[in-house]
Structures are given as structure tokens and as C-alpha cells.
Amino acid sequence: MRTVTHPEHEHDATTGDKGMNKARPARLDLRAASGGGLFDYAPAPESVRPDIADRYGLFIDGSFVEPGSGNWFPSINPATEGTMSMIAEASTADVDRAVKAAREALPAWSGLPAKERGKYLYRIARRMQERARELAVLETLDGGKPIKESRDVDVPLACAHFFYHAGWADKLKFALPGRDPKPVGVCGQIIPWNFPLLMLAWKIAPALACGNTVVLKPAETTSLTALRFAEICAEIGLPKGVVNIVTGAGETGRAIVEHDGIDKIAFTGSTQVGKMIAKAVAPTNKRLTLELGGKSANIIFEDASLDQAIEGIIEGIYFNQGHVCCAGSRLFVQESILDTVIDKLSDRMSSLRVGDPMDKNTDVGAINSKEQLATISKYLTLGDKEGAVRHDVCNSSLPDKGFWCRPCFYSGVQPSHTIAREEIFGPVLAVMSFRTPEEAISRANNSPYGLAAGVWTDKGSKIFDVARRLDAGIVWLNTYNKFDPTSPFGGYKESGFGREGGRHGLLAYCR
Ligand code: NAD
Ligand code: MN
């Protein structure tokens, strides 16, 4: 294994091999000069601790019910490995109950004056805002993401999606001019663990706005905010059966996909499971949208504003522990600035704080599950073995318990390396170089995925030329990972099909 450590942490170097990284001049190290304490913040733990029940049933037809299966599974806090609550596992018969409830609720819900449907969505959005702190804390405890992310990104965006779609409910004819949009029917929705409440909002808000009813399954490691959302639906008096939440793992998901009474499947998750779902749905009349994995490229040109770019690149891959489908996990750097970018990246990363997700100063939280940590570790081993140079430049100490991974990046990466081709879904960046814009575009497009991309340059003409030629559903220009309900999101190639958000997203939920 060849690794490179930040010069400030040279005592950590295992081999001393600096690979392609030139020796750098010694810097004044204020952190070391002050005994490591000068720039350290005092702990700033989030103080809100919402009540969490010992166990949660299934939300079917407007109330919480026991699972017919009689089975329960634990939801873990990945930062402590402690069990937070026991979650009901929905069997095929339980899914059937939920689908029947959604079917029964459909005529009345889709028959409501559109304006009245919109009012329910506004009520949901306002109640989510009122309970925002509690939702953010639950998201962080159950999933491991830093509280500053769930508080400032996930929950506000989830609320914004309900507000946005509340506005569309009585304006669908304007969204789809010349047509008379009708709901698709009962929607089966399956979501992942990386943005539990936000993915729920992306799925449920447009479905309800267009007059559909839903059966939604959260991921098995992060059920708690979906169950709070169910409480909110009951609190605001949403007609029973319009939203049903069934918890469980892959088998429960499969029961949804295979149920005859479902008109549309919306899935976000791995490409592997997405392909299985596409096969299962192909011979049926069900509609399908898939939002799958990615291996998105961030392209940085020599004329870019470098410090701004570094900040965006860091946010693009290390934000949310790299558990982001559109993470900028491949960085293409113009050759003339490669050394400078590697230096600046190392400097900035050395100050990232990894640790307690409930601390307001934490940058990188816990890896969502033991399984995901094992997957990431497998890729690190492969990256080392195949000959890339690992830069272990983040020196943050790690808690004793929980699932943790220090963010790192690789240089000397070949396009054939596994870490350059496959989705890692962790805080690991592959840095590669290019000479001309043509080369950057062809290398960025050389991937089975096509979800997102980022372009960093000061030249407007280059921005538009390059963006147009990238095979990606979303291209960010001089920024990264910025979301807005008005903007459609979705991929090309093995990243899936269909769009969520914006006017385009409504199409998936209308006939
Ligand atoms: P996954 O695809 O296994 O799970 C996503 C959702 O699908 C979960 O709710 C899961 O319970 C459900 N599911 C699993 N098997 C199913 C089946 N046979 N039929 C129906 N539903 C099923 O993803 P994961 O295990 O959570 O993570 C594995 C990989 O998926 C990650 O490492 C990453 O590469 C990718 N991923 C992508 C996204 C994204 O937003 N695009 C999100 C999470 C994970
Ligand atoms: Mn959990």
C-alpha cells in the first residue's frame, strides 16, 4: 500500500512514499504551535432529545397497527451502535392491507377539488416546519449524518418540497398545457437511507399533489422520520389511507413491487436493485421511475477560482459521509494545476471534523451501517492494491464506538481502477488529470452512470459548452450539490430514468 499523509501529520506516514506529490515547503503550523488547541471548538451538542417509542407499528389506513408478520427489527444509531427502537417488519399480507387502504382512499382523494388537496399539502408542510428540530435530531440519531446537515439541508428542503407541490395541486393544467391530467392511481414508493425524509418528500409530495395515494417503504436502517411523518399526516387530518407507511427490508420492498394493486413504482436506491425492479415491472402495466447510483465527475479548469472550487469539491464528496448518489466522486483536474489542487485539498481536509453527528461543529458524521462501512473498506483495499496513491490527510480522532471512516482521496488513479469506475458511497475521492476540455469531457462521460457533474471555470463560454456535452442529468456550474424543489433531478444511463422535482417531476404522477 502506498499512502501519503499531510506534512503536518508526517509522524503518521506508514511508508513515507509521497508518490506524485512533490515535497512542499514547511508551513507555520498554528495548530501544533498551540498544543493542538488553538482552533478547536468546545463541544456543542444538540440539546433536543425527542421521545422515541420502544417500538413502532405499520401506518396503515390512518393508524398504527401491529404487523401481521409478528416480526420486529432494531433500528440502530450508527454513532453509538445502540438500538433506538424496534420497527415492524411488513409481510406480503401487511403490504396487501396497505395497498387495499390506498385503493379505497383513491376515489375520494382524487375527486377532491384540487385546491382542497393543495391545502392538505400546505398543512403537512407547516406541521413539518413546526416539528423541524425534532425531525432533524431523529434523522441524525437514526442515520448518522451531522446535525448541521439534517437541520440546515434535509429538513428545510423536505418542507420546501411540500410547499412547492402544494402550489401545483390546483395548477396542473398549467404545468401540462393542452392536456387534462389525471392521477396514475396507487403508487408504491421505495426509498434509501441517505436522505430518508427528503426522499420521502420527493416521492409523496408530487404523488399527493396529482391526486394519487401511496404506500411508501423507508430503508430498514432509517425508518424513524418516515414514522414521524405518518404521525404528522394523522395530526393534520389527512384522509385515512392516502398515505401508508410500511417498514421492512428488501422482502417488503419486493412485495410492493410485485403487488397487482399498484399502478406505479417509484424507486431510489442501488442500480443492482433497480435493475431487478425493472425486470419485475416490465411485463406489467405498472409505470416506473428509477433513481439509481452515480459516479459523478467534478471538472476543474486552470482558470477556476481555486479556493472556491476546493470548498465545493469537499462539499461535493465528503458532505453526508459521501452517502450521496450524485456525489462528485471523480475529480478531473487540469494538469497545470494538479499539484496546487492536491496541496489545497490536503490542507482543507486536514481540518475536517469527523465524529459525533449530534455536535453542531461536526463536518463528517457516522457511516450509516456496518455493512456500508465494510463496502467502503473493501474499496479502500482495492484502491491501495491496484496502485493508486491514498492521501490520508484527515487527522480527526474517531470515537471508540460506532461506524466511522476518515475522509481521504486518491491520486495516481487510472480510468481502469475500480475506485474510478464503481460507486463507493463513502467519503473517498478519485483524483485524475486532463489536458484539454475535449479530454475532460470524454473522460467524464466514460462511465456507465450519468447522474450529475460539476464544472469549475471562470469562463462563461467554457461553462456552457462543457455542460451541454456532459452525459449527466444535473450539471452544477461553480457550485455543487445544490438542490431546489423547482429544479428536476434524475439521471441518464445506469443512473435511472424519470425526473423528480420541478414541472418535469409531475409527469411521473399524472396520466
Ligand atoms: P438498496 O437498493 O439495497 O436499497 C434501497 C431501498 O430498496 C431500501 O428501502 C431497500 O430496503 C429496498 N430494497 C432492497 N432490495 C429490494 C428488492 N429486491 N425489491 C424492492 N426493494 C428492495 O440500496 P442499499 O442497500 O441501501 O445501498 C446499497 C447501495 O445502493 C449503496 O452502496 C449505493 O451504491 C446505492 N444507493 C444509492 C442511493 C441513491 O440515492 N441513488 C441511495 C442509497 C444507496
Ligand atoms: Mn438507524
- Domain limits of the chain? 55-292+495-509, 294-477
Reported as type and span, the H/E element at residue 58 is strand 58-60
Residue carrying C-alpha cell 472550487: 309
Task: Please check whether the two domains, 55-292+495-509 and 294-477, share a CATH topology.
Answer: no
Confidence grade of residue 5 (pLDDT, cut at 50, 70, 90): low
Which one of the ligands is nearest to 224 CA?
A: 2
CB 403 within 8 A of CB 364: no
Q: Which of 139, 149, 220, 291 is catalytic?
A: 291
Of 252, 282, 272, nearest to 190 by C-alpha is 252
Whether residue 16 has pLDDT greater than 80: no
Ligand that comes closest to the CA of residue 246: 1
14 — pLDDT class (breaks 50, 70, 90): very low
Q: Report residue 29's pLDDT band, with 50, 70 and 90 as the boundaries.
A: low
> Which ranges of 259-369 does DSSP label H, i.e. alpha helix?
271-281, 306-318, 338-350
Q: List CB-based neighbours of ion ligand 2 within 5 Å.
A: 75-76, 142, 221
pLDDT for 275-313, tens place per residue? 999 999 999 999 999 999 999 999 999 999 999 999 999
Residue 120 scores a pLDDT above 70? yes
Residue 439 has pLDDT above 90, yes or no: yes
* d(C-alpha 63, C-alpha 322), whole Å: 36
Rounded distance from Cα 82 to ligand 2 centre (Å): 9
Q: What is the pLDDT of residue 502?
A: 95
Reduce the DSSP state of residue 172 to 3 states and report it. Answer: helix
Output the CA 399–ligand 1 centroid distance in Å: 27
Residues near 288 by Cβ (< 8 Å), separated by ≥ 6?
264, 265, 266, 267, 277, 278, 281, 498
**pTM (2 decimals)?**
0.93
Tell me: pLDDT of 10 over 80. Answer: no
Calpha distance 196→139 (Å, rounded): 7
Higher pLDDT, 37 or 418: 418
- H or E element: which one contains 507? helix 502-507
Return the residue whose CA atom lies nearest to atom 38 of ligand 1. Answer: 269
* Span from the CA of 293 to the centroid of ligand 1 (angstroms): 9
**pLDDT band for position 450 (cuts 50, 70, 90):** very high
pLDDT of residue 34: 44
- Residue 496 is given by DSSP the state E
Cβ contacts of 467 within 8 Å, gap of 6 or more:
453, 455, 475, 477
Write out pLDDT tens, residues 358-413: 999 999 999 999 999 999 999 999 999 999 999 999 989 999 999 999 999 999 99
Mean pLDDT of 51-76: 97
Distance (angstroms) between ligand 1 centre and the Cα of 346 equals 32
Q: Is 510 an annotated catalytic residue? A: no
Residue 41 has what pLDDT?
Answer: 81
Pocket test for ligand 1, best of 270, 319, 379, 419 (most atoms within 8 A of CB): 270
Q: How close is the Cα of 21 to the center of ligand 2, in Å?
A: 39
Atom in ligand 1 nearest the alpha carbon of residue 293: 41
What's residue 2's pLDDT?
54
Which of 145, 217, 273, 321 should be mutated for ligand 1, with most atoms under 8 A from CB? 273
Ligand nearest to the CA of 89: 1
The residue contributing the CA closest to ligand 1 atom 32 is 425
State the catalytic residue, choosing from 233, 325, 394, 510. 325
Architecture of domain 55-292+495-509: 3-Layer(aba) Sandwich (3.40)
| Distance from Cα 504 to the centre of ligand 1, integer Å | 24
- Whose C-alpha lies nearest to ligand 1, atom 9? 219
CA distance 88 to 66: 7
pLDDT over 90 percentage in the chain: 89
pLDDT digits 0-9 by tens, 216-273? 999 999 999 999 999 999 999 999 999 999 999 999 999 999 999 999 999 999 999 9
Ligand 2 centroid – CA 188 distance (Å): 22
Nearest-atom number in ligand 1 for the CA of 276 is 18
> What 3-state DSSP class applies to 159?
helix
Query: In sequence order, what are the beta bridge partners of 489?
Result: 500
* Whether pLDDT at 36 is above 70: no
Which CATH code for domain 294-477? 3.40.309.10
Task: Specify the long-range contacts of residues 10-18, CB closer than 8 Å, at least 24 apart.
Answer: 12/392, 12/395, 17/389
Distance CA 422, CA 139 (A): 27
500 phi and psi angles, rounded to 5 deg: -120, 135
pLDDT at 395 (0 to 100): 87
Q: Which listed ligand is nearest to 143 at the C-alpha?
A: 2
Residues near ligand 1 (Cβ within 6 A): 190-194, 217, 219-220, 249-250, 253-254, 257, 268-270, 273, 276-277, 291-293, 325, 375, 423, 425
| Strands (DSSP E) found in 389-502 | 389-391, 408-411, 428-434, 449-450, 452-456, 474-477, 492-493, 496-497
- Counting from 1 in the atom list of ligand 1, the atom nearest the Cα of 280 is 19
pLDDT digits (tens, 9 = 90+) for 218-230: 999 999 999 999 9
Comparing C-alpha atoms, which of 200, 210, 115, 216 is closest to residue 161?
200
Which-ligand-closest: CA of 490? 1
Give the Å distance between the CA of 197 and the centre of ligand 2: 13
Residue nearest atom 35 in ligand 1 by C-alpha distance: 270
Is 291 a known active-site residue?
Answer: yes
Indicate which atom in ligand 1 lies nearest the CA of residue 371: 25
Mean pLDDT of 485-491: 95
Mean pLDDT of the chain: 93
- Grid look-up 499531510 returns 6
Which ligand 1 atom is nearest residue 256's CA?
20
Helices (H), 169-218: 172-175, 196-209
The mean per-residue pLDDT over the stretch 161-167 comes to 98
Q: Is 10 exposed, middle or buried (0-12, 13-18, 19+ CB in 10 A)?
A: exposed
